[in-house]
Amino acid sequence: MDIKVPAVGESVYEAVIARWLKKSGEVVAKDEPLCEVETDKVTLEVTSEADGVLTTLAAEGETVKIGAVIATIDARGAEAAPPSGSAAPPEPPPSGAPAAGTAPAKATPKGMAPPISPSGRKLARELGVEPQDVKGTGRGGRVTREDLLKAEGAEPAPAEAEPSPAAQLAPVGKTEPAPAAPPRPAPAEEAERVVRKPMTQIRKRIAERLVSVRQQTAMLTTFNEADMSQVMLLRQKYGEHFLKRHGVKLGFMSFFVRACCEALAQYPEVNAQIDGDDIVYHNFCDIGVAVGSERGLVVPVLRGAESLTLAGIEQQIAQYAEKVRQNRIAIADLEGGTFTISNGGVYGSMLSTPILNPPQSGVLGMHAIQPRAVVVDGEIVVRPMMYLALSYDHRIVDGQGAVGFLKLVKEYIEEPEELLLEG
């Protein structure tokens, strides 16, 4: 049975084998994850479609086309092969072979790359040695630094220490030793100070989009701050009841989604986008919520957020977060947003400039809540404050509209009862 790279979207034509979760020759069960493949938009798991013995046909880091065969499953060999993780019974050594327990090093077959560390590969290049021609003596046949040096010809002799300038200039008869220079790290140790890794497909895509935003939009950012006292009071007062009733916690994001939906209705240009010489206005709010992952930022979309309750928003966000953790987020979950909210405050960000998610024309940045001294009714009081930032495309959103939108979000957050608790 062939294992193929699944189709993940119309605009995705290739993927990268991020890592194999099972090794070639292992027995796998139906629906067991085999590997992770990474596109420029999502990372997903490929699972086994039957019980059998796995044979991998593509290496980690290899770029493959959508629909390409990357492995096979031999159902006939499932019974004969040893269970995954167990060792096959040892065969008696042939005549003249070393006795058991001597663990002779195995030479890597000609033409195959032996196990070797990045620093070892660098040293091999420096010495002009081909790793596949070297017999590895390390664990599992790994080629060590000593193996490379022996293959090159000889161990380097320790360099003779040169007298320091201070010793050369010292007067005759003086015997005070000059301070010793710190030892120079060996080539392998020095190489490990710098690690070079290829960019992932998602990181490449993020880089391309961020550069294109700077080059193709007139992005500008306006700032304000919101007193979070009332929202925090509502969460404290109703949080436990909310969790018991809906199965999710009452977070800050749902308040901001509702506030943004109301503000977008009054400032539709912030919810619009440019299409050629036209401006496309949306009479709905598909709000993208930025979610961080190990491989980069993804932005799943809350469809029809203007009609969702606080509970509905929190439940959808929780579902998306779980999908991201399990690498099961789909392309359809990420496409078609009209506005984005990014919460850098969860990482401790005090203030930042969020970048647009094209072709959208607006993105709201939330930040960390901190107690600050503010003036209320002529008196200095301490309140939990959050800086807000709205980045917008100045080609279709004027400064007045951007400032008005952000002020309205601030008002809804500072007085949320009537507006945000209707549902």
The amino acid at 361: S
Q: How far apart are alpha carbons 297 and 290 in whole angstroms?
A: 7
What average pLDDT does the chain have? Answer: 81
Q: Is 394 a known active-site residue? A: yes
pLDDT for residue 422: 53
Residue 296: left (phi > 0), alpha (psi -120 to 50), or beta?
left
CB neighbour list of residue 296: distance below 8 Å, 6 or more residues apart: 200, 202, 203, 206
pLDDT confidence tier of residue 130, bands split at 50, 70 and 90: confident
Instruction: Report whether 225 contacts 389 (CB < 8 A).
Output: no
* Nearest residue to 306 (alpha-carbon basis) of 284, 336, 337, 339: 284
Q: Residue 153 — pLDDT band, cuts 50, 70, 90?
A: low
pLDDT value of residue 279: 96
DSSP string, 329-369: --HHHHS--SEEEEEGGGGT-SS------TT-SEEEEE--E
C-alpha closest to that of 203 among 289, 290, 298, 287 = 298
Asked if the model's pLDDT at residue 336 lies above 80, the reply is yes
Report the 10 Å Cβ neighbour count for 39. 23
Assess whether the previous peptide bond of 114 is cis (omega < 30° from 0): no
Structure tokens at 358: 């094209």
Distance CA 235, CA 209 (A): 36
pLDDT of residue 420: 60
Average pLDDT over residues 297-317: 93
CA dihedral defined by 343, 346, 351, 354, rounded to 10 degrees? -30
Radius of gyration of the chain (CA): 30
Output the pLDDT for position 374.
Answer: 95
- What count of residues does the chain have? 423
pLDDT at residue 76, rounded to an integer: 73
Assign 104 a pLDDT band (cuts: 50, 70, 90): very low
pLDDT given at position 274 = 95
Distant-in-sequence, close-in-space partners of 183: CB < 8 Å, separation ≥ 6: none
The residue with greater pLDDT, 208 or 223, is: 223
Model pLDDT, residue 11: 65
pLDDT on residue 159: 43
| pLDDT confidence of residue 118 | 64
Judged by average pLDDT, the poorest of 18-27, 97-106, 144-153, 376-385 is 97-106
68-82, 355-369, 385-399: least confidently modelled range: 68-82
Q: Which of 147-156, 303-312, 363-372 has the lowest mean pLDDT?
A: 147-156
DSSP strand pairing (33-38 vs 219-227): unpaired
SS3 state at 45: strand
Q: Which CATH architecture has domain 118-152?
A: Irregular (4.10)
Query: What is the DSSP track for 290-306?
Result: -EEETTEEE--EETTGG
More confident position, 113 or 292: 292
Angle at 105 between CA 143 and CA 86, to 5 degrees: 100
Between residues 340 and 39, the one the model is more confident about: 340
- Token reading at 260: 């943004």
Report the alpha-carbon distance of residue 32 to residue 28 in Å, rounded: 7
Per the CB < 8 A criterion, the answer to whether 339 and 288 are in contact is: yes
Region for residue 31 given its phi and psi (left: phi exceeds 0; alpha: psi -120 to 50; beta: otherwise):
left
Lowest mean pLDDT among 43-57, 96-110, 311-325, 382-396: 96-110
**The token pair that represents 185 in the structure block:** 């790290």
- To the nearest whole percent, how much of the chain has pLDDT over 70? 77
Q: Which has more confidence, 190 or 211?
A: 211
User: Which of 68-77, 86-95, 212-221, 286-295 has the highest average model confidence (pLDDT)?
Assistant: 212-221
Tell me the β-bridge partners of 47: 33
pLDDT confidence of residue 298 = 83
* Average of per-residue pLDDT across 283-290: 95
Any catalytic annotation for residue 277? no
Q: Whose CA is closest to 309, among 317, 297, 298, 299?
A: 317
What pLDDT shows up at residue 170?
Answer: 45
Please determine, for residue 163, whether its predicted confidence score (pLDDT) is greater than 60.
no
Set 51, 246, 282, 394: catalytic member:
394
The class of domain 218-420 in CATH terms is alpha beta
pLDDT on residue 320: 92
Q: Which residues contact 230 (CB under 8 A, 6 or more apart)?
A: 413, 414, 415, 416, 417
Choosing from 2, 31, 241, 398, which is the catalytic residue? 398
**HSE-up of residue 1 (Cα within 13 Å, Cβ side):** 17
Q: Are 8 and 39 in contact (CB under 8 A)?
A: yes
**Rounded mean pLDDT of 171-193?**
59
Average pLDDT, integer, range 330-341: 90
- The whole-number pLDDT of residue 287 equals 97
How far apart (Å, rounded) are the C-alpha atoms in residues 112 and 124? 15
Average confidence (pLDDT) over 18-40: 87
Distance from C-alpha of 78 to C-alpha of 52, rounded to nearest angstrom: 4
Do the beta carbons of residue 90 and residue 84 sit within 8 Å? no
Task: Tell me which CATH code domain 2-77 carries.
Answer: 2.40.50.100
Tell me what pLDDT residue 395 has: 95
Domain ranges within the chain, ordered by starting residue:
2-77, 118-152, 218-420
Structure tokens at 204: 């490449």
Q: Of the ranges 20-24, 141-145, 391-395, which one carries the lowest mean pLDDT score?
A: 141-145
Whose CA is closest to 199, among 210, 188, 191? 210
CB 1 within 8 A of CB 52: yes
